[in-house]
Each structure stands twice: as structure tokens, then as C-alpha cells.
Amino acid sequence: MTAFLPWFFGFLIIFLFAGAFLLLKKRQANFTLRPLRPSPQKMPLAKLDSPLFKEEYAGDLTIPSEVMPQPQEPEEELPGKYNIDRLVLMARDPHWLYAYWEISATTQEEFKTNYGPFAWGQSQPVLRIYDVTGTDFEKQSTFEYTDILISDQADDWYIQVGQPDRSFCIEVGRKFQNGHFITLLRSNVVSTPRASLSEQADEEWMWIENLYQTIKYQYGISSPLIVEEIAGRAGIVPLGISSPGFYVSQT
């Protein structure tokens, strides 16, 4: 028995050392850092565990799209010409007139047909101004006039007449070198306004002025009450005339 104890303790010590060694190895294996996985660029394609890029479908794409501006319809502009014959005359003030016109292509072709294919270029465009005050322009054949030379590109003109309270009419035409004038368009008749006060007097307002002078001299500075008393007593104020605080009652 005594000889067996050393062997028993020897095996026990070896067994404890072996167990301690295995336990230490196991703990070292748990705390040992694993080596980094090599980068995909250096790995052969055959050894890649997963693809480098995730496959996406059109429905999965979330690329924001730019908001495109809505196309705007172009604004409509008034045409410069309507290819019609017209000549409009207006009075701007007592001394000036304003005219604008358009000569259609048809009228130009008729002019070339009647006077030759080169007649348009060989003639000068002219504005002719007539003073038709107190006359019938349609029936009378002779009038005093003034010619103004213009350009072929002109389609409006300011005309200085310098004659207030007069009536005028103008024509647009072509004048040849021999002085022959061909009328293309004729305007309406307009009258320039007066440059002074009217000479006509309003009798009704003169009557009111006479009434005011009468009240002023007989009663002094008047008031609405005095005016009403005078109107009711004498009945001299017409029923159709009234002002604030000035009323006439009918009985």
C-alpha cells in the first residue's frame, strides 16, 4: 500500500497538469483574434463567398429625379399688321392731330396694275391734310391742303395744324415727280378742341348768379335757412334746381 501511494499522487499530479493545460489552451483559443479577411480586390473570383455588389432591381432604385419645369405656352402677341386698308385720324389737342394707317397688299398691287410695275418705287408717299371746317368734304371738290412727305416704312404720324376749333381730314397717297397725286386712303373728319373759354353762356346758371346777387345785397351773407325762406315765400327758385341744404317743397 505504501508503494502504491507515490504512483497515485504522481498520476494525480499529471492529470491535474494535463487538465490545467487543456483549460488554458481552450481559453487562449477563445481570446485569440482571428486574422483579417483579405480584401475582395486581391481574392480570386472563384474563392469569393459573396458577390461584391448587391443586385438591385428597377423597383428598388430610389434615385431622386429632378423636377422638370412645366412647359409654358408662349404669350400671344398682337400682330403688327392685319393686311387691311384703314386710315384713322384723331385730335390730340387744339394744335395737333394724330393719324395711323395700313395699306393692304391688295391695294398696292392694284396701284402697280393701274400705273405700272415700277410706279410704287418711282412715287413718293405723302400725307395730304385738308381743312374742311364748315364744308361738305364729300360734295365739294376743291379744298386748301398741305402735303407732308413721309417714308414707306411710316404707319403713323403726328400732324401739327396749329388751328384750334377747326375740322380736318387727311389722305394717304403717292405723288409722282410731275406732281400728280393718287389717293390711296382717306380718313374720317375730326375737329380740334378750343384753346380758350367758350363764348356761349348758360342762361340757367346766369339766372342763379342773379339770384345770388339779389340775396347778397338784400339780406347780407346768406344761409340755407334764408334761401329756403325766400324760396317758400316768393316761389322764385325753379323746382328742378337744387344744391346741398337747398330744398324746395311742393304743397
**Helix residue spans in 1-104 (DSSP H):** 4-31
Instruction: Check the CA dihedral 127-128-130-136 and report its sign.
Output: negative
- Domains present along the chain, CATH in parentheses: 86-191 (2.60.40.10), 203-234 (no CATH)
Looking at the DSSP bridge assignments, the partners of residue 147 are: 128
Task: Write out pLDDT tens, residues 161-187.
Answer: 999 999 999 999 999 999 999 999 999
Task: Write out pLDDT tens, residues 38-49.
Answer: 555 555 555 555
Backbone angles phi, psi at 124, to 5 degrees: -110, 130
pTM of the entire structure? Answer: 0.52
Percent of the chain with pLDDT over 90: 40
Compute the average pLDDT of residues 121-130: 96
Between 92 and 209, the more confident residue is 92
* CB 52, CB 40: distance < 8 Å: yes
**Helix residue spans in the chain (DSSP H):** 4-31, 105-115, 119-122, 203-219, 224-234
